[in-house]
Amino acid sequence: MFELFHFPGGVKPASHKQESSGTPIAKAPLPPLLVMPFRQNATGAAAIAVKAGDRVLKGQRIGSAEGAFGTPVHAPTSGMVRAIEERMLPHPSGLPSTCALIEPDGTDEWVERIPLDPFAANLAQVRERIRDAGIVGLGGAAFPSHVKTKAAIDTLIINGAECEPWITCDDRLMRERAAEIVVGARILGHLMGAKRILFGIEDNKPEAAQALRDAQGECDSGSCQVVPVPTLYPAGGEKQLIRVLTGIEIPYSKLGPDFGVQCFNVGTAYAVTRATLHGEPLVSRILTLAGNYERPGNFEVLIGTPADALLPLGAPKPDTDRIVMGGPMMGFPLPDRSVPVVKATNCLLAMSPALFPPPLPEMPCIRCGACTRVCPIILQPHELYWYAKSKNFGKTQEYHLFDCIECGCCAYVCPSRIPLVDYYRFAKAEIRAREKEKAASDRARERYDFRLYREEREKEEKAARLAARSAETKAKLANEDTAKIAAAQTRADNA
């Protein structure tokens, strides 16, 4: 019997999984225009490798990776690059970023795809293939996957928990493409020397768990195990799932590999299989349309597809008042429905006043402690709230503000309806902004000090040159005087 552990806190909101999980994955049609951001995650933007007027093929690299944490960007289909311009990204800030606008030609013509045997190739080659395929974490963080594979571990965890309400893209992926997920897990385990592979799946997904069990024939005997975990939000958080499956508590500033464990999403494992065995870069992903739709479901969507081209597939009901990227706990309202799908987009949740009533007015904190009891990180959310509200950012850091994973459990149970996570995000943003300003100020001061030092050094060098020249002139004059005196003496002696 597999021993499970528990993480502190957590909540059990209504899952609403059945609304979108009952139908197979459908392929979304080609939109008339694809908007491909060169920035797909927080680790940096890819260097632009195309220009307006270029014809591109499906899977062709249009943005090159830069730096150790960079990942490239690929054309989702064949067509013409109509422009390179600033477009709004799916981000709470609503800020624009550079994007390639690709008009599909309808042929969906691939670049040459070169398969790679990941178990026969050099490990560095496999990591390079994962990097060149643009694979990032598809559970939401979008962290470059090739970086995570460099660690040596004992236990590999494949995260199929999908704890956020309404979202079912991972559930359907596991049901329909379990064999390729298992192969991807084996590849990742091979890269990191894992002795065992654990598939963590919430126990409200029995069909997905059985599909993975049926697909485990490729695993070495005893090395793979499908483990149902209790349905409790946020069990799908990386550190929470690691604790449930292994009992290991990962402290802040530490990572799983420090304790011999690493975690990947099931979608990432699937993408690794496609990249290695089929030579396909990451150009599409499974996405859930859930909430206030007539036809909720899951769709395989090309990266770069505008959200407003996808919404008609689910047919939002007339009273839909906003679209949220992600789930109701950690998602954010789209600043504009024309923003494109990116690699981190797992759901477009349609909201209405009936399904998601607008929040009631915020009331004063009554210090009931409900938020503290459900915090999975064992923080003191009410104290963080007070210090964030009063802009005492030093105190928020003393109370470990940056340990907060913004899961929303505290706000979910707050009887005063305080949007606690918003306060924490505000405080984090202010601290980062001030640190950035301080760093810029420090750099400016260093430049100023160096300029003063350079000017003083140049002044000293100039004075030294003048002194040397003066000494040289004096010596020359002295030599001339000595020569004149000697000549005069010679003439006198000869007379």
Q: Are 424 and 401 in contact (CB under 8 A)?
A: yes
Q: What one-character DSSP code corresponds to residue 136?
A: B
In sign, the C-alpha dihedral spanning 376, 381, 432, 98 is positive
Rg of the chain over CA atoms, in angstroms? 31
Number of C-beta neighbours around residue 354 at 10 A: 10
pLDDT tens series, the chain, 495 aa: 688 999 999 999 999 999 999 999 999 999 999 999 998 877 778 899 999 999 999 999 999 988 888 889 999 999 999 999 999 988 887 788 999 999 999 999 999 999 999 999 999 999 999 999 999 999 877 899 999 999 999 999 999 999 999 999 999 999 999 999 999 999 999 999 999 999 999 999 999 999 999 998 756 545 889 999 999 999 999 999 999 999 999 988 889 999 999 999 999 999 999 999 999 999 999 999 999 999 999 999 999 999 999 999 999 999 999 999 999 999 999 989 999 999 999 999 999 999 999 888 999 999 999 999 999 999 999 999 999 999 999 999 999 999 999 999 999 999 999 999 999 999 998 998 898 888 888 889 999 989 999 999 999 899 998 988 888 888 888 887 787 787 778 777 776
Instruction: Give the residue range(s) of CATH 3.40.50.11540 domains in the chain.
Output: 18-105+115-302
Name the E strands within 160-258: 196-202, 224-229
d(CA 125, CA 116): 9
pLDDT value of position 373: 96
What are 256's two structure tokens?
Answer: 């799983």
Contacts 24+ apart (CB under 8 A), 477-480: none
> In terms of DSSP bridges, do strands 347-351 and 284-291 run parallel, antiparallel, or are they unpaired?
parallel
Find, among 250, 248, 237, 291, the residue nearest to 408 by Cα.
237
d(CA 10, CA 95): 33
pLDDT value of position 92: 80
pLDDT value of position 221: 47
Q: What is the pTM of this model?
A: 0.87
- In what helix (H) or strand (E) does residue 424 lie, and over which residues does it extend? helix 420-494
What are 284's two structure tokens?
Answer: 């599409």
Number of C-beta neighbours around residue 29 at 10 A: 13
18-105+115-302 under CATH 1.50.10.100, yes or no: no
What are 372's two structure tokens?
Answer: 């503290």
pLDDT value of position 366: 93
What CA–CA distances, in Å, run from 61 to 38, 71, 111, 132? 11, 11, 10, 9
